[in-house]
């Protein structure tokens, strides 16, 4: 099943919104409409159509698909119940190099950079990567288990990989994320909430929250209040 979402963002001029809604609604079928709770202005985007998640394949149709070998099945009966936000840059602090994908495919060249010699043997992945320009790359179907969290605990539950979805933002702890990354992240989260009933808006955390002392991402640069505002939390 493919869920198609029209995200409707309101400006102060509600008459303009009502006019567009009246024109659009009669022409559409099989769409779910998501509004920004209370008709508040939260985005410069007025109307955006997004086709989101195929529940059979567990894939986003708006993401480039690159299947990582670093994944497996979740425990029997386990569904996603947690969203974990990470950051990543390879080499550290550099963007757009293509090395992130190499890491998730176990092809990182240890001689290409001194840092790579320390991590090239890791077997890791995330479900989704949001690049600096907002491009999406998916590596693992959402219903499968990506290897993103490592040793972790959420609300007393160990092994967060078993019941979570890992989303990487290309970035660092101390450098501001791009506005388009928040925009794309919010759209993905809305789609995940629709596709997987076990998820909720209050179960969205950073890697730092489930592995304190071991991990620090997405770091101080990540604007949690902005994300919560966009999601209406």
Tell me the CA end-to-end span of the chain in Å, nearest whole number: 27
Please count the CA atoms within 13 angstroms of the CA of 32 that sit on its side-chain side. Answer: 15
Residue 181 zone, left/alpha/beta (φ > 0; ψ -120 to 50; rest): alpha
**Alpha-carbon distance 84 to 142, whole Å?**
12
Q: Which of 48, 79, 81, 168 is catalytic?
A: 168
Q: Is 168 marked active-site?
A: yes
Active-site amino acid positions: 168
């Amino acid at each position: 099943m493919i869920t198609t979402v029209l995200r409707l963002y309101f400006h102060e001029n509600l008459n303009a919104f009502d006019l567009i809604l009246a024109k659009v609604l009669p022409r559409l079928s099989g769409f779910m409409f998501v509004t920004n709770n209370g008709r508040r202005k939260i985005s410069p985007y007025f109307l955006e159509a997004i086709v989101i998640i195929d529940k059979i394949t567990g894939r986003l149709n708006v993401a480039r698909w690159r299947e990582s070998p670093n994944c497996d099945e979740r425990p029997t009966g386990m569904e996603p119940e947690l969203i974990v936000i990470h950051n990543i840059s390879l080499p550290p602090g550099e963007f757009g190099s293509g090395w992130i994908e190499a890491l998730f495919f176990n092809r990182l060249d240890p001689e290409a950079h001194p840092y790579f010699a320390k991590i090239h043997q890791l077997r890791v992945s995330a479900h989704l990567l949001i690049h600096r320009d907002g491009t999406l790359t998916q590596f693992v179907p959402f219903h499968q288990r990506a290897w993103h969290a490592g040793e972790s605990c959420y609300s007393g539950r160990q092994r967060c990989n078993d019941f979570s979805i890992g989303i990487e933002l290309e970035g660092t702890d101390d450098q501001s994320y791009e506005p388009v990354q928040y925009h794309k992240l919010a759209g993905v989260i809305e789609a995940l909430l629709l596709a997987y009933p076990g998820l909720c808006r209050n179960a969205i955390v950073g890697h730092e929250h489930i592995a304190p002392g071991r991990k620090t991402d997405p770091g101080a640069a990540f604007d949690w209040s902005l994300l919560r505002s966009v999601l209406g939390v």
